[in-house]
Amino acid sequence: MAIHKTARKITTHVLQAMKLKGEKIAMLTAYDYSMAKIVDQAGIDVILVGDSAANVMAGYDSTLPLTLNEIIYHAKSVVRAVEKALVVVDLPFGTYQGNSKIALDSAIRIMKETGAHAVKMEGGLQIKESVIRILSAGIPVMGHLGLIPQSIHKFGTYVVRAKDKEEADILRKDALLLEELGCFGIVLEKIPAQLAKEVSESIKIPTIGIGAGGGVDGQVLVIHDMLGITQEFSPRFLRRYHDLSAEIKGAVSNYVKDVRSKDFPNEKEQY
Ligand code: KIV
């Protein structure tokens, strides 16, 4: 029987066992109670309360403006809905870089105020002290390497990362470092599939890819993108499972038509 089926709750240990057994891990983002409930009931393993909320919930053009209070609001809503999935929350930009004491305070606020199970942080060597300090408080940490959107102004674009040897070598070292420090998993975003496969095979903790090919231990997508709620974002790695934007527009325009024509509400729809 598959490990994710027999587990009553998905924990970081279950994810580790899934990797060992070669069972792929399915992860999606969610930011609110209603969507998290659907996603959890559909059998997702991990829900990421991602700082992509800045883009798809708040309409910013980067993840940088999202605050700790805002991610805590989203995470609380998600945790109230979830019965089985592991809930991981992004530490927003500016809440952990450069100061491990601030990092620990941020992570503790997330764990205490939301009831989530783990935090995710972008970067390798440059955030080592913060990772160590958060882990030492017993808080599970997921790493994030490759395209790290909180550093968009350093990169300049959202193109594929680690294509050249120098950047690939840094990524390999960072993955080993995060494993050594005690992270329970690493997101690999938008890097060559061959590199992602090699890194996944070189470490014992699970890797979750987004735009990193099939050689990783699991996949993650932003729920608004895979459901077709967002229309303007169409990278090669994105598979759309629905055109929810068209469905919603159709339903809303039918509602508008019915209200204008006085068809809604009818006699059965009133008291
Ligand atoms: O914030 C987010 O949604 C993420 C995923 C893209 C991995 O970090």
Distance CA 116, CA 82 (A): 10
Ligand 1 center to residue 78 CA distance, Å?
Answer: 15
Same domain, 84 and 141: yes
So what's the pLDDT on residue 144? 98
Same domain, 68 and 192: yes
187 CB within 6 A, ligand 1: yes
Binning pLDDT at 50, 70 and 90, where does residue 232 land?
A: confident
Q: Are 27 and 218 in contact (CB under 8 A)?
A: yes
- What's the chain's length in residues? 271
Nearest to 37 by CA among 187, 223, 235: 223
So what's the pLDDT on residue 179? 98
51 CB within 6 A, ligand 1: yes
**Looking at residue 180, which CATH number applies to its domain?**
3.20.20.60
Ligand 1 center to residue 64 CA distance, Å?
Answer: 13
**Above 90 in pLDDT, residue 248?**
yes
Task: For a ligand 1 pocket test, name from 88, 144, 220 the mutation site with the most ligand atoms within 8 angstroms of its C-beta.
Answer: 220
| Other Cβ atoms within 10 Å of 6 Cβ, number | 9
29 CB within 6 A, ligand 1: yes
Please state at what angle helix 100-114 crosses helix 128-136, rounded to 10 degrees.
40
Mean pLDDT value across residues 195-223: 98
Q: Where do runs of H (alpha helix) occur along 115-202? A: 128-136, 152-155, 165-181, 193-202
Distance CA 230, CA 77 (A): 21
Give the chain's domain count: 2
Contacts 24+ apart (CB under 8 A), 210-217: 210/237, 211/147, 211/160, 211/235, 211/236, 211/237, 212/146, 212/188, 212/237, 216/188, 217/18, 217/19, 217/24, 217/25, 217/185
84: which 2 tokens?
Answer: 């089985």
Mean pLDDT value across residues 64-92: 98
The residue whose CA is least distant from atom 4 of ligand 1 is 50
Percent of the chain with pLDDT over 90: 97
**Above 90 in pLDDT, residue 7?**
yes
So what's the pLDDT on residue 92? 98
130-151 pLDDT, tens digit each: 999 999 999 999 999 999 999 9
So what's the pLDDT on residue 63? 98
Q: Which of 83, 166, 189, 267 is catalytic?
A: 189
Same domain, 146 and 262: no
23 CB within 6 A, ligand 1: no
So what's the pLDDT on residue 136? 98
Same domain, 263 and 153: no
- Domain membership of residue 23 as a residue range: 3-240
Mean pLDDT value across residues 160-173: 98
The residue whose CA is least distant from atom 2 of ligand 1 is 50
226 CB within 6 A, ligand 1: no
Same domain, 177 and 254: no
The residue whose CA is least distant from atom 5 of ligand 1 is 50
Ligand 1 center to residue 179 CA distance, Å?
Answer: 20
Same domain, 191 and 259: no
pTM value is: 0.97
Same domain, 135 and 148: yes
Q: Are 25 and 15 in contact (CB under 8 A)?
A: yes
**Above 90 in pLDDT, residue 111?**
yes
Nearest to 132 by CA among 116, 145, 143, 146: 143
Same domain, 234 and 250: no
Distance CA 125, CA 184 (A): 16
Sign for the pseudo-dihedral over CA of 142, 207, 117, 16: negative
Distance CA 75, CA 72 (A): 5
Percent of the chain with pLDDT over 70: 100
The residue whose CA is least distant from atom 8 of ligand 1 is 50
Same domain, 262 and 182: no
Q: What stretch of H or E contains 221?
A: strand 218-221
**Above 90 in pLDDT, residue 197?**
yes
76: which 2 tokens?
Answer: 């609380």
Q: What stretch of H or E contains 105?
A: helix 100-114
Ligand 1 center to residue 21 CA distance, Å?
Answer: 25
Same domain, 136 and 31: yes
Ligand 1 center to residue 166 CA distance, Å?
Answer: 24
Return the ligand 1 atom nearest residue 63 CA.
1
Mean pLDDT estimate for the chain: 98
180 counts as catalytic: no
Same domain, 132 and 93: yes
Region at 135 (left for phi over 0; alpha for psi -120 to 50; beta for the rest): alpha
Binning pLDDT at 50, 70 and 90, where does residue 56 land?
A: very high
Q: Are 83 and 39 in contact (CB under 8 A)?
A: no
Same domain, 57 and 172: yes
The residue whose CA is least distant from atom 1 of ligand 1 is 50
